[in-house]
Chain A
Amino acid sequence: MNIFLLFGMGLFALVFLCLYRAVFGPGVLNRIAAISAIGTKTLVILLLMGFIYNRVEMFVDISMVYALLNFIGTITAAKYLEMKGEL
């Protein structure tokens, strides 16, 4: 079995553990951190898919955009909470 496929499936299982924290997690901050962690794992899964299909140079571009939008989304959620005064 392809080792990249194996690692990808392992990360895919870990995403669901983060999803549990995002759905049931107490408080908003746990949810934001869980969503951010899911985004990071998705980024690595995208790169592993690039290795499986032998087209890494394409998937690097996509994963960089994913990381960027994940970063901006987390900052925006934190800023929203700061403006609402819930922290």
Chain B
Amino acid sequence: MISISDDIITRTVSRVLVPFIQIYALYVIMHGHHSPGGGFQGGVILGASFILYLITHGLEDAKERMSELKAGLLSSFGLLIYSGIGLLCIIKGSNYLDYGGLSTLLNVIPAQARSLGILGIEIGVGIAVMAVMFSVFFDISTGGILPEDEEDLEVNNR
């Protein structure tokens, strides 16, 4: 199990750095049309910030910010945004993920509807990738066994 770091330098630097990493991840997601990046890359950076917090502050603190339950819910929620926007396009009478069909719903011209649609898709992908990245690291670092599970196992074995 990952415990809190003894070194004050590591803890302080990571605590100062984590909000800036998350701001940068949001910039990569929102600015994906004009610069390298997009939903997946921004999601990876967002997940890396949580992984940095987990490494330096230990499992107990990190579980209050982002638990395995929250990661599972968020990954499903991101996929729901992605597929929901795609299905909304089908309902409006165009192909799957053809955002031009959303123009009547959003009350804008089709070109603007495409820009907004792809932004929504990228937000959904970013949330899903962030949650899955954190979940993979969480499962590998704990070996799938949490401390309270170990106590339950000991009780059952008696």
Contacts and interface: CB of A to CB of B under 8 A. Distances in A.
Interface in B131-158: none
| Size class of the contact patch on chain A | 10 to 19
Contact of A58 (B28, B35, B51): B35
B74 interface: no
Given A72-B48, A75-B55, A62 B2 contact: no
Nearest to A62: B36
Contact residues of A: prevailing secondary structure: helix
A61 B24 CA distance: 9
Interface in A40-87: 57-58, 61-62, 64-65, 68-69, 72, 75-76, 79, 83
B56 A75 contact: yes
Contact residues of B: prevailing secondary structure: helix
A72 B52 contact: yes
B52 A57 contact: no
A61 B10 contact: no
Contacts of B2: 79, 83
B21 interface: yes
A83 to B, nearest CB: 7
Contacts of A58: 35-36
A48 to B, nearest CB: 17
Given A58-B36, A64-B24, A72-B55, 8 more contacts: A65-B45, A68-B45, A69-B48, A72-B51, A75-B56, A76-B51, A76-B55, A79-B2
Interface of B: 2, 5, 10, 14, 21, 24, 28, 35-37, 41, 45, 48, 51-52, 55-56
